[in-house]
Structure 1
Amino acid sequence: MLKSLRFNLEDASQIIIGSFALAIPISFSEEAWSLSESLPFFNIFLLLLLSFCFLSFYAYQSVFQANIKYKQVAFIFRVFIAYLMACVVVALILLAINKLPLIDETMIAIKRVIIISMPASMGAIIVDGFDKE
């Protein structure tokens, strides 16, 4: 029970590697860049909501094995930290390839991170769930 409550460097590295694995091919995709320019905010919000729904579902079933009765805080923390870390990884990749226009077009940069973070966060939580009992 205590293992699921802790978040350590191994968990962080699994989340980073999992998000990196799925963020790389999508970050280099011109389709993702174009979507960030054309997709309305409602759709971006929907992607964000879907990300959290799928992350929660997977974490509940796989990481916590449908037992969060005494672990609600750990469950919520794990879902949010996985998404946040995936966003940071995506932002760093986009920054490295000069596709994160934070100063000139802040909204496009944010939309781009949210779009690419959806699959990246799923990769993060899946890899994080591999070694759970």
Structure 2
Amino acid sequence: MKSSFNFEDIIQICVGAFALAVPISFSEEAWQLAQTLPFTNLLLLLSLSFLFLSLYTFESVFQRNIRTRRLLFVSRIIFAYVITFFIVALVLLSINKLPLLTEPLVALKRIVVISMPASMGAIIVDSFDKE
């Protein structure tokens, strides 16, 4: 297990996020769901994203050994989600489905909805090369 976060990890997170963000971002169902989703459900999705990122990272990436690497553990989860968030935003922007200036709340909701599965793809691909 590496004890740092490097450029290879960033690329793996980007590729994993992109792999799941692309097909979901092209789905009209995801766009519509985001528009109608109440704020509390949006917070629940965000919480579930962090919960599952944490569980998977704890079990697979860190193999239950975070005692001396808590900061790295937490930063890896946050960093994976932030990268995923921007990858999803970029994909939505490129297909003209990110109404950031006209409907910023809808844009944010779309990013959060699609980031949930995309963040799991990101952390799974990130875990592939761990010893």
- TM-score of the superposed pair, with normalisation by structure 2: 0.99
The answer for the alignment partner of 2:9 in structure 1 is 11
Q: What is the rounded CA distance, in whole Å, between the counterparts of 1:21 and 1:8 in structure 2?
A: 20
Paired position in structure 1 for 2:89: 91
| Count of paired positions | 131
Structure 2: segments with no counterpart, 5+ residues: none
Give 1:107's aligned residue.
Answer: 105
> Matched residues in 1 for 2:67 and 2:80: separation?
21
DSSP 3-state at the match of 1:83:
helix
Q: Which amino acid aligns with 1:15?
A: I
Distance 2:27 2:85 in 1: 17
Amino acid at match of 1:13: I
Aligned residue for 1:68, secondary structure, equals: coil
Mapping 1:1-133, distance limit 5 Å: 3=2, 5-133=3-131
CA drift at 1:60? 0.2
CA RMSD between the two structures: 0.6
CA-to-aligned-CA distance 1:54-97 (integer Å, 9 cap, x gap): 00000000000000000000000000000000000000000000
Which one-letter code corresponds to 1:81 in the other structure? F
TM-score normalised according to structure 1 size: 0.97
Q: C-alpha separation between the residues in 2 aligned to 1:111 and 1:42? A: 11
Alpha-carbon separation, structure 2, partners of 1:65 and 1:83 = 20
Q: Distance in 2 between matches of 1:22 and 1:104?
A: 26
- Does the residue aligned with 2:96 lie in a helix, a strand or coil? coil
**Structure 1 CA distance for aligned equivalents of residues 125 and 99 of structure 2:** 29
Separation in structure 2 between the aligned mates of residue 71 and residue 132 of structure 1, nearest angstrom: 15
